[in-house]
């Protein structure tokens, strides 16, 4: 079995006025927010998918169906904690992750330190293991028209040092 594995996550959420905007576990002040079955935190969703994919554990929708009422409006940080339990049970820990948020407005760079601090606490890892970047699409496409937000993430996981291994 390999000691290192890489996973990839991608997600999109529609933006709607007068909805709270949760991103990276924090509430971003803005007139629009992402909509979804949960709190629609697109960054946490791609992190979950990247980690699950790296461990060959399918995807976030498989584990937390949007058809299941128990996940309606759920804080995505709780989903991330559950993903980390699954990762741990599979014998892996996070090496690092690198994520990019695609959003025209609001500007995300000022919020990245708070997102990293929040995610590091939830994941019980060092902030240095989490890279978050932000970009626009230069007004092109659904992101550029401010109709939605998308995010990408790659994660490196490594096998834990187990006794007698």
User: Contact, 42 vs 150, CB < 8 A?
Assistant: yes
* Residue 37, annotated as binding a ligand: yes
* Residue 12, annotated as binding a ligand: yes
Q: What DSSP string describes 37-81?
A: SS---HHHHHHHHHHHHHTT---HHHHS-TT-GGGTT--HHHHHH
* Residue 11, annotated as binding a ligand: yes
* Residue 4, annotated as binding a ligand: no
* Residue 36, annotated as binding a ligand: no
* Residue 111, annotated as binding a ligand: no
* Residue 73, annotated as binding a ligand: no
* Residue 59, annotated as binding a ligand: yes
* Residue 38, annotated as binding a ligand: yes
* Residue 64, annotated as binding a ligand: yes
* Strand-strand pairing, 92-102 and 130-135: parallel
* Residue 98, annotated as binding a ligand: no
Cα-based distances in Å from 143 to 11, 93, 151 = 12, 33, 11
Three-class SS state of 114: helix
d(CA 59, CA 45): 10
* Residue 13, annotated as binding a ligand: yes
Phi, psi of 9 (to 5 degrees): -130, 145
* Residue 95, annotated as binding a ligand: no
* Residue 17, annotated as binding a ligand: no
Task: Locate 44 and state its tokens.
Answer: 């946490």
* Residue 100, annotated as binding a ligand: no
* Residue 60, annotated as binding a ligand: yes
Q: Binding site for a divalent metal cation: residue ranges?
A: 11, 13, 45
Q: Binding site: residue ranges?
A: 11-13, 37-38, 45, 59-61, 64-68, 135-138, 142, 145
């Amino acid at each position: 079995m390999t000691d290192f594995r890489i996973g990839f996550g991608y997600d999109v959420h529609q933006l709607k006025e007068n909805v709270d905007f949760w991103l990276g576990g924090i509430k971003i002040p803005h007139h629009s927010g992402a909509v979804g079955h949960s709190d629609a935190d697109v960054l946490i969703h791609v992190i979950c998918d990247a980690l699950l994919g790296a461990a060959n554990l399918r995807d976030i929708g498989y584990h937390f169906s949007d058809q299941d009422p128990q996940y309606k409006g759920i804080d995505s940080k709780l989903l991330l904690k559950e993903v980390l339990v699954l990762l741990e049970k599979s014998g892996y820990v996070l090496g690092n992750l690198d994520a990019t948020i695609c959003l025209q407005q609001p500007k995300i760079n000022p919020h990245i330190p708070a997102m990293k601090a929040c995610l590091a606490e939830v994941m019980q890892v060092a902030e240095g293991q989490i890279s978050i970047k932000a970009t626009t699409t230069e007004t092109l496409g659904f992101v550029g028209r401010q109709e939605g937000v998308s995010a990408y993430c790659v994660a490196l996981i490594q096998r834990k040092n187990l006794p007698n291994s």
